[in-house]
Amino acid sequence: MARSRERIVVLGGGAGGLELVCALSEKSGLDVTLVDVCGTHIWKPRLHEFAAGTVSSTLSEMSFYLLAAKRGFRFEQGCVTTIDRKAQTVRLAPVTSHDGAIEGPGRSIPYDRLVIALGGVTPDFGTEGVKEYAIRLDRKEDAEIFRDRFVASLLKARETGEPARISIIGSGATGTELAAHLRMAERGFITEAVLSRDQRLLDILILEAAPEIMPGASSELRRAVLERLGTLDIATRSGAKIAGIEAEAVLAEDGERWPTDIAVWAAGLVGNPCLKDLCDFEMDKKQRIVVDPCLKVPNDERIYVMGDAASFRPSPDSDPLPPTAQCASQQAAYLAKAIPEAVAGGRPGQFEFNDQGRLLSFASGGSVGSINLFRSKQDLLVRGQFATAAYHSIQRRHQWAVLGYLLGTVAIFADAISPTKGPALKLHG
Ligand SMILES: Cc1cc2nc3c(=O)[nH]c(=O)nc-3n(C[C@H](O)[C@H](O)[C@H](O)COP(=O)(O)OP(=O)(O)OC[C@H]3O[C@@H](n4cnc5c(N)ncnc54)[C@H](O)[C@@H]3O)c2cc1C
């Protein structure tokens, strides 16, 4: 019997992939399958908040199985290993239980059209000791490992009177926001005894290799960020080229050494290492798959790539777009229209990125950012309540896109009134 529905398979249910499957499953004539190695979706832009403990991960975590049942797509859990373009199948590795006792079988998933949305990772650039001694915030497990060490080091600091030393390498959004949230989480550990001893629990240092912190930001935004970091008593050091990380220190190329209890490596983002082994795709120097103006790989009409996994140039002479949830979300919205149009035999227009700006949230230090109003060439510096609302709006839109307006609004409301945000690591003693 002839198949009537086009099989669309989306690999990766992150910021972009999940929005796309939810939108596609509303269209008729499509049979939509999502594949992810995890059983739950996590909103990655808040990973540093889970790590700091200033928000509970349950607020932003959703089961793919339940979402699939609710939104009408199929979900297959497994790690994508290869794509066979000729056979039009994706290979998934076997799924093994944590204790290794039970193994679910590996599988091949057939597709008519495929979307790769497998995200990116923080590269170590071959720096010695990063793998062994530093934490990179790429997955929920990383945030949990960090939090575990963070709690132990603060308890130790309270006992010994010696502040815990946290070094964050990289002064982009992840590094600076994490630092601010750590300062907020510290409050949960301050007891009357600590106050009476006028004791510090946490020394935070941000190290940046570039001559100025927040490379790429406008000088206005940089000044505003530095001002906030200063208010939060967070030290910064630019021009710090890191040679290696040891168990208890960060080392600079010029021999300087910063004693450290926890090192966080937050220096940039490249494509997921699994991308290069998937198939015969062209890769850029940041390990992302090169795509054409319609987000398709140049050697296959049926394969699209989006989000952090894609190397998309808005024009032939411009740099590829940086990896952001903002971009992944816009690409999801584009593909949600372009794919059904292509299936119906049409020729969809090209993807156009609308840069809405850059926003940062410093917990108790407030929010700041530069936004691009009405696609003007001039960015506008924003602060205070407006910046905070704009910062949260990207996750709000994600919640609506994934849960629908009614449930999305309930989730947003629950988030707003939740007692598990703020200094969630509150301990008594
Ligand atoms: C701490 C932090 C803060 C950030 N803050 C912001 C911000 O404020 N604003 C902003 O715009 N962006 C921010 N970002 C960047 C943003 O999170 C990413 O750009 C965005 O998540 C990319 O979306 P994506 O869909 O491409 O990939 P991801 O969201 O990374 O999703 C990839 C998915 O693929 C799955 N996967 C990976 N490998 C496999 C495999 N082999 N097989 C099966 N599944 C697999 C993963 O489980 C995941 O679900 C932040 C990132 C971090 C880490």
pLDDT, residue 358, reads 74
How far away, in angstroms, is 374 Cα from ligand 1 center? Answer: 27
Which whole-number Å values give the CA distances from 400 to 18, 134, 378, 396, in the listed order?
Answer: 12, 35, 29, 6
Residue 277 above 70 pLDDT? yes
Whether the predicted pLDDT of 429 surpasses 60: no
Q: Cα(14) to centroid of ligand 1, in Å?
A: 5
**CATH entry 3.30.70.100 includes domain 137-265:** no
CA distance 339 to 280: 22
**Centroid of ligand 1 to alpha carbon of 419 (angstroms):** 26
Q: What is the pLDDT of residue 418?
A: 65
Which whole number is the average pLDDT over 25-54?
A: 92
- Rounded mean pLDDT of the chain? 89
pLDDT digits 0-9 by tens, 299-352: 999 999 999 999 999 999 999 999 999 999 999 999 999 999 999 999 999 999
How many whole angstroms from 330 Cα to the centroid of ligand 1? 14
Q: Which CATH superfamily is domain 6-122+269-343 in?
A: FAD/NAD(P)-binding domain (3.50.50.60)
Give the whole-angstrom CA distance, residue 288 versus residue 305.
9
pLDDT of residue 425: 38
pLDDT computed for residue 370 by the predictor = 72
Report the distance separating Cα 177 and Cα 233, nearest Å: 13
Q: What is the pLDDT of residues 361-410, one digit of tens each?
A: 777 767 777 766 655 556 666 776 666 777 677 778 888 888 887 777 77
Residues of the chain with CATH 3.50.50.60: 6-122+269-343, 137-265
Q: pLDDT by residue (tens digit) across 180-233?
A: 999 999 999 988 888 888 888 999 999 999 999 988 888 888 998 899 999 999
Render pLDDT for 46-73 as a digit per residue (tens, 0 to 9): 899 889 887 765 556 899 999 999 999 9
Query: In testing the pocket of ligand 1, which one of 22, 214, 324 has its CB within 8 Å of the most ligand atoms?
Result: 324
Question: What is the predicted pLDDT for the residue at 399?
Answer: 84
- What is the β-pairing status of strands 113-116 and 303-305? parallel
Q: Pocket residues for ligand 1 (CB within 6 Å)?
A: 12-17, 35-38, 44-45, 47-48, 79-80, 117-119, 137, 173-174, 272, 274, 307-309, 323-326, 328
Cβ contacts of 310 within 8 Å, gap of 6 or more? 116, 288, 289, 291, 295, 331
Atom 4, ligand 1: residue with shortest CA distance:
45
Per-residue pLDDT, averaged over 353-360, amounts to 80
In sign, the C-alpha dihedral spanning 311, 313, 316, 317 is: negative
CA distance 172 to 177: 8
pLDDT for residue 198:
83
In this prediction, residue 427 carries a pLDDT of 34
